[in-house]
């Protein structure tokens, strides 16, 4: 009786090992991308579930530009077709930015039509950081912010500062993202 039980236990252990070792190509590529990350001090990753490398967070804290002193969290969802499809990236705070809409969708060309499998997570993260250093009013998701940036940089700067403190801009309340 003991012999049968231990055989079943051994078979169950082998089955468990097979399930654990089943790693997708996307997971392997994400693991490689993450191991090669060389992020500046203005960017930090966080893995809510350390076992799940395909879903993680990135926080950008610009040290210059309009968005200095802000802390901007993003979620990354990498699907199983990665690197053939870009990760889904979303800002989790409501911010006033020409290239990020009020729902957190991000307008970055490499997350859409310019994505290529040779690009990696580091490229996406650097692209996001660049949007805070040089917002692009010519490819906007938030047309009001883009218009302000194009036509009245001072008003844009005032609106960014007000919105980052959790204030209202054009009747819309924004999340406080000022670093504490």
Q: Active-site residue numbers? A: 107
Q: Per this entry, what is the length of the chain?
A: 180
Q: What is the DSSP string of 16-39?
A: HHHHHH---HHHHHHHHHHHT---
Strands in 72-77's sheet, in edge-to-edge order, are 43-46, 55-60, 72-77, 88-91
**Would you call 163 helix, strand, or coil by DSSP?**
helix
Contact 124, 110 (CB under 8 A): yes
């Amino acid at each position: 009786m003991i012999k049968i039980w231990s055989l079943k236990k051994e078979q169950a252990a082998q089955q468990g090992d097979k399930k654990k070792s089943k790693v997708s190509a996307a997971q392997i590529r994400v693991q490689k991308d993450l191991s090669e990350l060389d992020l500046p001090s203005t960017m930090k990753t966080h893995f809510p579930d350390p076992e799940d490398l395909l879903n993680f967070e990135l926080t950008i804290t610009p040290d210059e530009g309009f968005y200095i002193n802000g802390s901007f969290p993003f979620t990354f969802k990498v699907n199983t077709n990665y690197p053939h499809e870009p990760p889904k990236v979303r800002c989790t705070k409501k911010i006033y930015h020409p290239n990020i809409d009020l729902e957190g969708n991000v307008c970055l060309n490499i997350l859409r039509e310019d994505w290529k499998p040779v690009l990696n997570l580091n490229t996406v993260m650097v692209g996001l950081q660049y949007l805070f250093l040089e917002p692009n009013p010519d490819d906007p998701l938030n047309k009001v912010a883009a218009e302000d940036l194009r036509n009245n940089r001072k008003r844009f700067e005032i609106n960014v500062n007000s919105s980052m403190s959790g204030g209202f801009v054009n009747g819309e309340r924004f999340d406080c993202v000022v670093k504490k």
